[in-house]
Structure 1
Amino acid sequence: MSNKGDQLINQLALLCAEDEWIYYQSSCFYISSEAKNWTESREYCLNREADMIIINNRQKQDFVRKITDKRGFWIGVTDIDVEGTWKWVDGSTLTSGIWASGEPNGEIRENCAVTYLTYLPELIGWIDVACDDAYQWICEKSILPHIQS
């Protein structure tokens, strides 16, 4: 990458760090330290011009696993509108996920998803849980619109 490109990435990383967010692939990520239900967690993100994280590739999942130390965190996917049809918070349909074995298990009240849980080692991947449960969450905010303005 060019020297100017390196400088830009460093500036973007600093922008994220100023607000205690983490820079990765043109986005800033916020890792909560408290636990809320899925709706409250999403509202927290939306109030900060962000949304819950969308994990649409293995590299991003590996990043999440690293920053969460394999603990359970809300992610921005739900099947609350149509049971069995998982959609990301941006409205796109989940085409392939990194679900744990046997997940999602189709329980009607489990309409939201969390990342890895270390206290259940057999569940290496996402699991569906009740949206009213309390977990920490991850917000994602793209910084690209800020560069263009």
Structure 2
Amino acid sequence: MANAMYVNSDQLYQAKAKEGKADISRNHSPGRKGCSYKFLLICFLLGISLLWLFVSLPIMIKWYLDLAEVKQKDLSRIDKSLEELKETVGSICQACASRSICQECPLGWLLFRGSCYKFSTTAKDWEGARISCAESNSHLAIINSLEEQYFLSNSTNSKDSWIGLSDKDTEGVWQWVDGSPLSFSFWNTGEPNNYMERDEDCVQLRYDKGWNGEWNDSSCKFTFLWICEKRSLCNLGLAG
């Protein structure tokens, strides 16, 4: 006959209590605890990233829109400047027949070999004439060839006229108003002579007493007509 086992109630309660502790220990093992911490950390970092994106995205969008607006304004200003430049060049080129030949000079000026000349109708001393030319963006005439001399002397209506030659800076050293030295001359016989030591430091085209536009040194204080010169617009390379 099998041996019977008798367990009292206290022993049964203690056995179940031990079994329950073992289950709790298994459910809270170190491996499971570490896994839950990693999951929480990932969730935290993901939340921070989403929060940063939520905050920064509107700022980035606004910055991009502001930058696009600035670029658009800059492009508009550039387009406007180009249109104004186009209109200016178009106005200049109306006086030009091609890229190298100018049809006409400003009103009241005569064209000769790439330069425009204006002959005054009033008289001034040499310095006053020089200033008047400068006010029209030009200078007193500079003569570099016999052809230019003939053109000017035939265009003055035989009236004495200042040109841009003087020895005001150094006596006997003749220079043009642009500082260039004298390379071509058309002095009359015996000129320059500084007649009667009157400080004849400025040069005129002279016509009286048998003169026909030859050069004469004269006192800069005398008053004569004058000739202004400036390069034509097409000769400056602004045509076409």
**What TM-score do the two structures reach when normalised by structure 1?**
0.85
Which of 119, 130, 147 is the equivalent residue of 1:59?
Answer: 147
The yes-or-no answer on 1:140 pairing with 2:232 is no
Distance 1:123-1:24 versus aligned 2 partners, 3 A rule:
closer
Larger Rg: 2
Distance 1:124-1:100 versus aligned 2 partners, 3 A rule:
farther
Q: CA RMSD in A?
A: 2.4
Shift of 1:89: 0.7
Q: Which runs of 5+ in 1 are unaligned?
A: 1-5
Which of 122, 128, 132 is the equivalent residue of 2:217?
Answer: 128
In 1, Cα distance between equivalents of 2:224 and 2:190: 21
Equivalence for 2:4 = none
Which of 197, 200, 204 is the equivalent residue of 1:110?
Answer: 200
In 1, Cα distance between equivalents of 2:119 and 2:199: 26
Matches within 5 A, 1:84-99: 84-99=172-187
Deviations 1:28-79 (A, max 9, x none): 1000000000001010101111000001110000001110133210000000
Equivalence for 2:26 = none
Q: Please say which of residues 38-47 and 65-74 is displaced more in the overlay.
A: 65-74
In 1, Cα distance between equivalents of 2:130 and 2:213: 24
Aligned residues: 141
**What TM-score do the two structures reach when normalised by structure 2?**
0.54
In 2, Cα distance between equivalents of 1:112 and 1:59: 22
Deviations 1:70-104 (A, max 9, x none): 32100000000000000001101113410011110
> In structure 2, what residue type is equivalent to 1:115?
L
In 2, Cα distance between equivalents of 1:73 and 1:19: 20
In 2, Cα distance between equivalents of 1:37 and 1:142: 24
Higher normalized contact order (CA 8 Å, seq sep 6+, divided by chain length): 1
In 2, Cα distance between equivalents of 1:27 and 1:96: 17
> In structure 1, what residue type is equivalent to 2:231?
S
Equivalence for 1:25 = 113
In 2, Cα distance between equivalents of 1:30 and 1:23: 9
> In structure 2, what residue type is equivalent to 1:135?
F
Equivalence for 1:3 = none
- Which structure carries more helix by proportion? 2
> In structure 2, what residue type is equivalent to 1:112?
C
* 3-state SS in 2 of match to 1:8: coil
Identity %: 33
In 2, Cα distance between equivalents of 1:75 and 1:93: 14
> In structure 2, what residue type is equivalent to 1:87?
Q
Runs of 4+ in 1 over 3 A off after TM superposition: none
Contact 1:78 1:112 in 2 (8 A): yes
Shift of 1:105: 0.1
In 1, Cα distance between equivalents of 2:133 and 2:211: 30
- Which structure carries more strand by proportion? 1
Shift of 1:7: 2.7
Equivalence for 1:73 = 161
